[in-house]
Amino acid sequence: MYRSLDARGVSGCALRVLAVDGSIMGLFRKASSDLSLLIYLTRRFFYILAYGYRRNICNVITSSGATIGELYYRIAEKSKIHGCPAGVYPSLGIGGHITGGAYGSLMRKFGLAADNVLDAKIVDSNGKLLDRAAMGEDLFWAIRGGGGGSFGIILSWKIKLVPVPETLTVFTVSKTLDQDVGFKILSKWQQVPNKLVEDLFLRVFLSVAGNNGTKTVTMSYIEMSWIESIIYNSGYPTSRPPPTDVLLQAKSPIGEVYFKAKSDFAKEPITILGLKGMFKKLLEEDAALVIWTPYGGMMDKIPESETPFPHRKGTIFMIQYYRNWTESEKRPNRRIQWIRELYSYMTPYVSSNPRQAYVNYRDLDLGQNKFNSKGNCIEVQVWGAKYYKDNFKRLVRIKSKVDPENFFRHEQSIPPLSY
């Protein structure tokens, strides 16, 4: 898996080849102003460290060039009773995914993947290869939730694996709006998802079903499990799921699509009035999807400042708004406009001051790094507070220390203080 990072304008000339754990990474710098940095992230290595197995201590070291599907498969190959609390969707790259937090079906019991990282290897803006001891606790804190592409290139993660039962249950209950008169089921769900026993992970998928004449909304209630549930939840046909080694193909189960997504955090149940308006808006689009992901459990127990990911106690559920389209779509702007309108409609029903957002659902509508005539980065506080709340200030301080020249940057990378 190749990752390229835009690094224009950085002076210096060096060519280094790093040999890390048997894999080769080339780090190329040249003096030209059109400088670019290309690093090959190997997908080859997974070391399952089963020391202390009896005490249920089991760690994995994984290359950040792998997908989480590959990681899950390799873990399941070695142990049926261990899992990794990362994302639901198997083709996500481990590198970017974990730097933003990485939630999945085990989050209510064990937190995010970022909460379970024990060590990491990173190439910093000086081309130095650092592990946790060498990078120090500040940088180690920043890369576990501060978002990708700001602090360096993660080469590998060492993650604490967590126990999962050998046999699990998943289920989907589909309901149409007609079957949930007065939104009784949805209202009830909103009272409990963060209070249920931590073993339960009940998500709600709201999508449009039926044709134009009789459109309605399907609600699917799903309890997730481990390796088979990864397949079950990935978008593969649930009636005839593929064998689990499909995860090694590192392919997206839904093929190549274009999409716009946004996120919100609900601190109070959405009122009946709010739900009515939301469904009215949903029914305007054919391929719209809204996902409610339950919080509570371990997510409530980890303090907001433990990692840069601040969405912890007090969150009932996270909302993801999603609209995809294919290359042949004639009016992508209309799709994007629709999702913006839905987001705007939801304002009174979700978190405020700041209106929180999940950094792994990057949303450039929230603001971008812009530079004024003096070269200072402006408007960063707006999107910074949404993704990180008060942790943003610490992220900026760390960035200023480890990458003062802003070598690693993009539209929403953490800027150093001098910018």
Ligand X SMILES: Cc1cc2nc3c(=O)[nH]c(=O)nc-3n(C[C@H](O)[C@H](O)[C@H](O)COP(=O)(O)OP(=O)(O)OC[C@H]3O[C@@H](n4cnc5c(N)ncnc54)[C@H](O)[C@@H]3O)c2cc1C
Applying CB under 6 A, which residues contact ligand X? 3, 5, 41, 64, 87-89, 92-93, 95-97, 99-104, 148-149, 153-154, 360, 410
Q: Which two tokens stand for residue 317?
A: 């559920």
| Partners of residue 136 on adjacent β-strands | none
Burial (CB count within 10 angstroms: exposed 0-12, middle 13-18, buried 19+), residue 15:
exposed
Give whichever of 72 and 103 is closer to ligand X, judged by the CB atom: 103
Q: Which two tokens stand for residue 85?
A: 């609390």
361 is catalytic: yes
Residue for token pair 């590959």: 70
CB of 208 to ligand X, least distance (A): 18
Give whichever of 274 and 323 is closer to ligand X, judged by the CB atom: 323
Residue 302 and residue 113: Cα distance in Å, rounded?
Answer: 13
- Pairing of β 162-163 and β 82-83: antiparallel
Report which residue's Cβ sits closest to ligand X: 148
CB 26 within 8 A of CB 121: no
Give whichever of 281 and 311 is closer to ligand X, judged by the CB atom: 311
Q: Which two tokens stand for residue 71?
A: 């990681």
- Pairing of β 153-160 and β 171-175: unpaired
Q: Tell me if residue 63 falls in helix, strand or coil.
A: strand
Give whichever of 16 and 280 is closer to ligand X, judged by the CB atom: 16
Residue for token pair 């308006």: 277
In this structure, how many other beta carbons lie within 10 angstroms of the beta carbon of residue 140?
21
Residue 201 and residue 105: Cα distance in Å, rounded?
Answer: 6
Residue 206 and residue 277: Cα distance in Å, rounded?
Answer: 14
Residue 226 and residue 145: Cα distance in Å, rounded?
Answer: 23
Q: Which of 47, 221, 345, 361 is catalytic?
A: 361
Residue 312 and residue 303: Cα distance in Å, rounded?
Answer: 7
Residues in the chain: 419
CB of 64 to ligand X, least distance (A): 4
CB of 167 to ligand X, least distance (A): 23
DSSP state of 319: E
CB of 257 to ligand X, least distance (A): 8
CB of 102 to ligand X, least distance (A): 4
CB of 189 to ligand X, least distance (A): 19
CB-facing half-sphere around the CA of 8: CA atoms within 13 A: 3
CB of 42 to ligand X, least distance (A): 11
Q: Please list the active-site residues.
A: 361
